[in-house]
C-alpha cells in the first residue's frame, strides 16, 4: 500500500521535507540563542554599576566605543566649529531637533557633540567661543537601523540625517571621531539628550522579535511534518480504494456504460436487465442476446406456406 513512497515524485517530496525540517529547527534554535544572549547581557548590565557611577575619563581612553564604554562620561577639550540640526528626534515623547556642534580637539580631529534638543522651529543658540572642555555620555555612531535616522537624503543644507563619521566625512574638512557625546547638562535654552543603552544590552523590541521568530520557525517545521503525514494518508487511501475496485484506475469507459454501435448516444444500457433509457425519455426493451449485425434476412429460416386443399 505504501509502495508509492518509492516513486520519483515522492522521492522529491521526502527529500524536501527531510531537509526543510532540520533547517527550520536550526533557525529556530539560533533565534532562541539570540534572545537568551540578550537576556544574559541585560542581567549582566543590571549587576554592573551604571556608566555614571564609573566617573569620567578622557575620550581617547574610552575608544573604540563598545558595550562597556558606551554611556561612560568622557571629557574632551577643543573649540567649537561647524553646527548642524538633526531633525525628527524624540525626547520625553516630543519630536524636535538635536543641536550637533563639532568640537575640534587638540589632536586635530573633530568630535560630534550634541549640545541639546530643541522643539521644531526654534533657532539654536550659538556655541561658546574659545577653548572649552566638554563632559558627556559617549555614544557609538548611528547606522541605518537606528531609530530616527534619515538615510534617503534630501535634507536641507545645515541638517544631518545620521550622527556618524561616514555621514560627516564629506561635510567637514577634519577627520571625525567614530562616536559622539551628548552633554550631561545642555547649553542654555535646550533640553539635555539622554544617552541610549548600548545595542544588544537590554530587552528591547529586537529581543522580543528574536523570540517571535523562534516560534515561527518551530511552527513551520511542525506544519511541514503535518502536511507530509496528510499527503501520505491521502495517497494510501487512494491506493487502497483502487485495490478494492472502489476507484477507477483508467480513463476509458467501462463496458457497461459504453453505448453499443448503432445505439443513440443518449442511451445507457443496464448491465443485467438489458434495458436502456433513451435521451428523449423513452424506454426500450431489447433482447438479451443480440443477433450479429452481419446476419442477412435471407439466412433466417422461413415458415412454410400452408397447403391448400386439393380439388
- Cβ(99)–Cβ(116) under 8 Å? yes
What confidence tens digit (pLDDT) does each residue in 277-297 have?
Answer: 334 444 443 443 344 444 444
- Mean pLDDT over 12-32 rounds to 92
What confidence tens digit (pLDDT) does each residue in 53-75 have?
Answer: 678 899 999 999 988 888 899 99
Which residue has better confidence, 187 or 81? 81
Helix axes 205-243, 8-47, angle to 10 degrees: 160
Q: Is pTM beyond 0.75 here?
A: no
- Cβ(86)–Cβ(79) under 8 Å? no
- Mean pLDDT over 169-186 rounds to 92
- Mean pLDDT over 102-120 rounds to 94
Q: Give residue 300's pLDDT.
A: 47
Q: Give residue 305's pLDDT.
A: 55
Mean pLDDT comparison of 27-41, 78-92, 228-242, highest-scoring range: 78-92
- Mean pLDDT over 176-188 rounds to 92
- Cβ(81)–Cβ(101) under 8 Å? yes
The secondary structure of 108-176 as a DSSP string is S-EEEEEEEEE-TTPPPPPPPPSEEEEEEEEEPPP-TTSTT---S--PPTTB-SS-SHHHHTTT-SS-B
Q: How many CB atoms lie within 10 A of CB 25?
A: 15
Q: How confident is the model at residue 188 (pLDDT cuts 50, 70, 90)?
A: confident
What confidence tens digit (pLDDT) does each residue in 143-169 have?
Answer: 888 888 888 778 888 999 999 999 998
Residues β-bridged to residue 94:
91
- Give the list of residues 6+ apart from residue 181 with CB closer than 8 angstroms, or none: 59, 74, 76, 111, 112, 113, 114, 134, 136, 137, 138, 139
Q: Give residue 9's pLDDT.
A: 84
Amino acid at each position: 500500500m505504501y509502495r508509492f513512497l518509492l516513486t520519483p515524485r515522492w522521492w522529491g517530496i521526502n527529500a524536501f521535507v527531510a531537509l526543510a525540517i532540520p533547517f527550520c529547527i536550526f533557525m529556530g534554535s539560533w533565534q532562541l540563542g539570540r534572545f537568551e544572549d540578550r537576556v544574559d547581557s541585560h542581567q549582566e548590565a543590571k549587576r554592573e554599576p551604571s556608566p555614571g557611577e564609573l566617573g569620567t575619563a578622557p575620550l581617547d581612553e574610552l575608544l573604540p566605543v563598545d558595550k562597556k564604554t558606551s554611556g561612560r562620561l568622557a571629557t574632551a577639550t577643543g573649540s567649537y566649529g561647524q553646527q548642524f540640526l538633526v531633525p525628527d528626534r524624540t525626547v520625553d515623547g516630543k519630536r524636535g531637533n538635536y543641536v550637533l556642534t563639532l568640537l575640534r580637539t587638540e589632536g586635530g580631529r573633530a568630535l560630534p557633540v550634541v549640545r541639546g534638543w530643541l522643539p521644531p522651529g526654534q533657532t539654536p543658540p550659538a556655541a561658546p567661543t574659545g577653548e572649552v572642555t566638554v563632559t558627556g555620555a559617549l555614544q557609538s555612531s548611528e547606522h541605518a537601523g537606528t531609530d530616527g535616522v534619515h538615510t534617503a537624503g534630501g535634507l536641507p543644507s545645515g541638517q544631518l540625517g545620521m550622527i556618524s563619521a561616514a555621514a560627516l566625512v564629506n561635510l567637514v574638512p577634519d577627520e571625525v571621531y567614530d562616536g559622539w557625546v551628548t552633554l550631561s547638562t545642555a547649553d542654555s535654552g535646550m533640553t539635555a539628550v539622554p544617552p541610549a543603552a548600548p545595542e544588544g544590552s537590554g530587552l528591547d523590541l529586537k529581543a522580543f522579535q528574536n523570540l517571535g521568530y523562534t516560534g515561527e520557525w518551530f511552527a513551520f517545521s511542525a506544519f511541514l511534518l503535518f502536511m507530509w503525514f496528510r499527503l501520505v494518508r491521502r495517497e494510501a487511501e487512494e491506493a487502497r480504494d483502487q485495490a478494492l475496485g472502489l476507484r477507477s484506475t483508467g480513463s476509458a469507459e467501462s463496458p457497461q456504460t459504453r453505448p453499443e454501435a448503432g445505439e443513440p448516444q443518449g442511451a445507457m444500457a443496464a448491465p443485467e436487465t438489458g434495458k436502456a433509457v433513451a435521451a428523449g425519455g423513452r424506454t426500450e426493451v431489447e433482447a438479451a442476446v443480440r443477433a450479429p449485425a452481419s446476419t442477412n434476412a435471407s439466412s433466417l429460416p422461413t415458415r412454410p406456406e400452408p397447403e391448400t386443399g386439393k380439388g
